[in-house]
């Protein structure tokens, strides 16, 4: 058994590959849950935030799709990691190969490998596949943590956008506590643990020479720990996503009177009055400042204040109709007209969701092919062993 084999790295890689296969299935399940909920809320209007402040109107469906897309890109890294953990290092000898007539390609077929680490010194010094896997897992959990943080805020009384339906925490001291977002807190905790696994995986090969060394035997430990932690993170967020209750009215009410759609007002001033955007931006900025100073909400916006701002910037009034001014500041109008590719218009979000569902189906098909490859490899190995026994 030791002919042309120097260390148990192939066994370790197979163990990592096995757990990674399971993790990919669970990550696909999370994407599916996000897309299902997004499809239900393509028209659910809510504030979009930058720097924790109202920025532009968006929809909850558009937000959820953005989370799914980020996880999808990280899943591509995990698929790359699966390929790298399916490269055969057996037959490398100590570092130079062997004079025995070994068939490295045949062994690769028996183990369902996708390729060979051909250079024999590269085979005994292999570290990069482990690190790619853990980097991909860290990316996934980072995105999960960011969503969990926002959902924790949005399920609080100050927002009231969401109601938690997964794990609800209580307090042994405060009897009124019935819905602490413990599930989301666990997601964030697991994401924090991933940083330790990432640094541990990188450090395992950091001080080793580019060759066979004892450190290589311990690359599997932080990698398997990362896979276990990522599994718990992804499973928890999937359950929390499927258990969410969305308070549409509260989301829309948070925009009542807000100047969150001011961008579209500036856009329309450019179109109607043939001004440069910087000039239009300055007019709208002055108008919003004046309106907020006089405590005039956007749904009661006044043309006289817009004209006053225009006079300060241009030296003349715009003369915009007041009903048109209020329409341009309406978040629902903003959502309808923002139809650029990737934007928040419901039909555009629905198009993207359909596209992502197809891409997810393609990813599941690729994963099923990996499973079939492993099953066929085992069948071939057993069949060849049976022939050898008969001979």
- At residue 93, the pLDDT reads 80
CB atoms within 10 A of CB 283: 24
- At residue 151, the pLDDT reads 96
- At residue 267, the pLDDT reads 96
Look up the pTM and report it.
0.92
Q: Strand, coil or helix: what is 169?
A: strand
The span from the first CA to the last CA of the chain, in angstroms, equals: 20
The alpha carbon torsion through 302, 305, 306, 311 (nearest 10 deg) reads 150
- At residue 143, the pLDDT reads 98
How far apart CA 125 and CA 247 sit, in angstroms, is: 54
Residue whose C-alpha is closest to residue 78's, from 20, 145, 13: 20
Q: Are 71 and 29 in contact (CB under 8 A)?
A: no
- At residue 3, the pLDDT reads 59
How far apart CA 310 and CA 306 sit, in angstroms, is: 6
- Residue ranges, the chain, pLDDT below 70: 1-9, 166-172, 175-178, 214
User: In this structure, are strands 115-116 and 87-88 parallel, antiparallel, or unpaired?
Assistant: parallel
Token pair, residue 108, equals 């690769």
Token pair, residue 199, equals 């640094």
């Amino acid at each position: 058994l030791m002919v042309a084999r120097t260390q148990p790295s192939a066994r370790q890689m197979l163990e990592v590959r096995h757990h990674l296969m399971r993790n990919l299935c669970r990550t696909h399940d999370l994407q599916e849950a996000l897309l299902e909920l997004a499809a239900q809320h393509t028209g659910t209007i809510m504030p979009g935030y930058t720097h924790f402040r109202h920025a532009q109107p968006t929809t909850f469906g558009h937000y959820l799709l953005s989370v799914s897309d980020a996880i999808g890109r990280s899943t591509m890294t995990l698929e790359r990691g699966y390929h790298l953990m399916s490269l055969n290092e057996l037959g490398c000898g100590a570092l130079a190969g062997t004079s025995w007539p070994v068939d490295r390609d045949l062994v690769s077929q028996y183990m369902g490998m996708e390729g060979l680490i051909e250079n024999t010194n590269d085979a005994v010094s292999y570290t990069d596949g482990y690190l790619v896997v853990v980097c991909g897992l860290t990316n996934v959990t980072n995105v999960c943590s960011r969503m969990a943080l926002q959902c924790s805020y949005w399920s609080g009384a100050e927002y009231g956008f969401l109601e938690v339906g997964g794990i609800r925490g209580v307090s042994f001291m405060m009897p009124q506590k019935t819905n602490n977002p413990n599930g989301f807190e666990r997601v964030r905790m697991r994401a924090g643990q991933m940083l330790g696994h990432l640094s541990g995986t990188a450090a395992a090969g950091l001080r080793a020479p580019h060759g066979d060394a004892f450190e290589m035997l311990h690359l599997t430990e932080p990698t398997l720990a990362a896979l276990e932690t990522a599994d718990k993170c992804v499973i928890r967020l999937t359950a929390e996503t499927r258990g969410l209750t969305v308070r549409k009215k509260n989301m829309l009410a948070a925009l009542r009177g807000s100047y969150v759609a001011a961008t579209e007002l500036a856009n329309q001033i450019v179109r109607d009055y043939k001004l440069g955007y910087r000039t239009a931006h300055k007019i709208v900025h002055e108008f919003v400042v004046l309106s907020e100073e006089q405590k005039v909400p956007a749904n009661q916006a006044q043309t006289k204040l817009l004209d006053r701002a225009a006079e300060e910037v241009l030296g003349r009034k715009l003369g915009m109709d007041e009903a048109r001014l209020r329409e341009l500041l309406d978040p629902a109008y903003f959502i309808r007209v923002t139809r650029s590719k990737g934007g928040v218009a419901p039909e555009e979000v629905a198009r993207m969701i359909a596209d992502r569902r197809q891409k997810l189906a393609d990813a599941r098909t690729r994963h099923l092919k990996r499973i079939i490859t492993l099953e066929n490899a085992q069948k071939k190995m057993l069949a060849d062993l049976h022939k050898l026994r008969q001979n």
